[in-house]
């Protein structure tokens, strides 16, 4: 019991939150934006990250999550770039293939 007038503070350690695994973003890139199979690689790293989170290895999980994030960014940028480029090319070259009567 502490002396009168003194407070005792007990510190309870709080576990850090687990790192994100980016599984939904990877699944989106795998299904819709998969240039050079980057979406598949990101999905595999996300699954590895989730496995490491379940095994309580947060250092390994954050490493795999970082790789998945980079691959997702590259896949999404390339997918958007290819989509925009395809639309522009169709708009530019479609009038050349329409036969005028």
pLDDT 10s digits, 62-89: 999 999 999 999 999 999 999 999 999 9
Is residue 29, in this structure, part of any structural domain at all?
no
pLDDT of residue 3: 66
Is residue 18, in this structure, part of any structural domain at all?
no
Give the number of domains in the chain: 1
Is residue 50, in this structure, part of any structural domain at all?
yes
Q: Two tokens at 41?
A: 């690689």
Is residue 24, in this structure, part of any structural domain at all?
no
Is residue 73, in this structure, part of any structural domain at all?
yes
Q: What pLDDT, in 10s, does the model give residues 28-56?
A: 999 998 889 999 999 999 999 999 999 99
pLDDT of residue 26: 96
Half-sphere exposure of residue 47: CA atoms within 13 angstroms, side-chain side: 8
This prediction has a pTM of 0.80
**Range of 40's domain?**
35-99
Q: Two tokens at 86?
A: 């395809």
Cα torsion 82, 88, 90, 93: sign: negative
pLDDT of residue 1: 57
pLDDT higher than threshold 80 for residue 99: no
Is residue 91, in this structure, part of any structural domain at all?
yes
Is residue 42, in this structure, part of any structural domain at all?
yes
Is residue 22, in this structure, part of any structural domain at all?
no
């Amino acid at each position: 019991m502490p002396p009168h007038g003194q407070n005792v503070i007990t510190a309870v350690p709080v576990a850090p939150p687990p790192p994100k695994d980016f599984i939904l973003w990877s699944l989106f890139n795998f299904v819709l934006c998969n240039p050079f199979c980057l979406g598949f690689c990101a999905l595999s790293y996300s699954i590895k990250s989730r496995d490491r989170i379940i095994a309580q290895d947060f250092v390994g999980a954050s490493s795999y999550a970082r790789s998945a994030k980079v691959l997702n960014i590259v896949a999404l940028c390339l997918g958007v770039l290819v989509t925009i480029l395809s639309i522009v090319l169709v708009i530019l070259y479609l009038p050349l293939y329409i036969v005028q009567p």
